[in-house]
Amino acid sequence: MALSPAVAFSSGETATHLYQIAQEAITNAVRHGSATEIEIAIQCEDGFCELRISDNGAGFDPRDRESLGSGMRSMGYRASVIGGRMSIVSGAHRGTIVSCIVPDP
């Protein structure tokens, strides 16, 4: 786990939603991707904070609607509630990177 110095969220709502996004990404990596390594990083700079969860799991095609379950949709919803945006980069046998960028609280 990597944290940039003094990451503090003044909004409990932002912190809670980011926690739940991370929790869902980790659950998906283990349950669906069979990941054995997961990296979690939070970095704040230039007025934004990025939560980034990457894994070495099986990966998937994020363009395939059937592979996007309710958990993925929930992460996108949570990001939008706190003014953020989600991105998912994945590919078969290449792992997955989930990123959520929010305005620096």
pLDDT digits over 85-94, tens only?
A: 999 999 888 9
- Please give, one letter per residue, the 3-state secondary structure of 36-52: CCEEEEEEEECCEEEEE
The 10s digit of each residue's pLDDT in 20-61 is: 999 999 999 999 999 999 999 998 888 899 999 999 999 988
**11-103: CATH homologous superfamily?**
Histidine kinase-like ATPase, C-terminal domain (3.30.565.10)
User: Residue 2 — pLDDT band, cuts 50, 70, 90?
Assistant: low
Q: Tell whether pTM > 0.85.
A: yes
pLDDT at 54: 97
Residue 67 has which token pair?
């592979």
Contact indicator for 20, 98 with CB cutoff of 8 Å: no
Torsion region of 100: left, alpha or beta (phi above 0 gives left; psi -120 to 50 gives alpha):
beta
Q: Between these two residues, 2 and 19, which has the higher pLDDT value? A: 19
